[in-house]
Structure 1
Amino acid sequence: MAKTFRQMVAEAKENVPGVSSAAAKEKMKENPDTLVIDVQDAADSGACGLIPSSVNITLGMLPIRADLELPESFRDARLSDRSRSVLITCGAGGQAALGAYLLKQMGFTDVAYIEGGTTAWKNAGFEVEL
């Protein structure tokens, strides 16, 4: 049976943890090596600002950049360690949940998405880069 975007997001949220903006900020403070990935398309990335130190890897490219069996030129070296702490964000959280679930399926052991995405981060009063 075909799934809708909302159904896929719900499934992802059942399988990976979501963290509040405050918990994400604390995790980043406690572990400066935490990789924060914004999975929005480049054209949309930053519409509500970007979390400082985050990197943009679109949802569509994320599995390619994280695939250790592809040639090095396709991969992102920051995604080579499956035990690295990774937080996924997007504008509102739906794509972030999908991205986190995708990485979990690829063997990442410490991955979560930021609930409400960068919008929630900004609404919590945390800094964003425009």
Structure 2
Amino acid sequence: MEKCFNTRVKEAMAAVPSVTAHQAMQLKEERRDLLFLDPRNQDDITATTGIIPGAISLPLDQLESARDERLSDRQQTIITACQGGPMGALAAHTLKQQGFNHVYYIDGGTQGWLDAGYPTER
């Protein structure tokens, strides 16, 4: 039996560390290999909060099978963010299961990023 969305999110949040928007910005300034990833589809991104500048959009349902060249280095630091956090946690957990070692999700998602005073792109 497949787990419900909320159960999957709870497990993901327990398995992957979160960072605040301020911590994410600090990591962005410190690490050249940092990649932001937004697991929403493009329509959801533009209809809501926008996307963190420089982030790639790779929908959650495509993340498991994605062969994206930007996701080739398992040692790079990746921070995921959706609109509010849950899908970001799921994406980070998926990446961790794929062998990425430095994966985080933004607590509060892109909305938390905006609330902290950081810009997004539409």
TM-score of Structure 1 vs Structure 2, range by shorter chain: over 0.9
Q: TM-score under structure 2 normalisation?
A: 0.94
**Aligned twin of 1:32:** 32
2:87 aligns to what SS in structure 1? helix
Aligned-pair identity (%): 39
Q: Which runs of 5+ in 1 are unaligned?
A: 66-74
2:61 aligns to what SS in structure 1? coil
What is the root-mean-square deviation of aligned Cα atoms in Å?
Answer: 1.1
Decide which structure has the larger Cα Rg and report it. Answer: 1
Is the aligned partner of 1:99 residue 2:99? no
Runs of 4+ in 1 over 6 A off after TM superposition: none
d(CA) in 2 for partners of 1:86, 1:41: 18
Which of residues 107, 111, 114 is equivalent to 1:122? 114
**Aligned twin of 2:4:** 4
Aligned length: 121
Which of residues 91, 110, 113 is equivalent to 2:102? 110
Q: TM-score under structure 1 normalisation?
A: 0.89
2:45 aligns to what SS in structure 1? coil
d(CA) in 2 for partners of 1:43, 1:63: 20
Alpha-carbon deviation of 1:33? 2.0
**Aligned twin of 2:82:** 90
Q: Which runs of 5+ in 2 are unaligned?
A: none
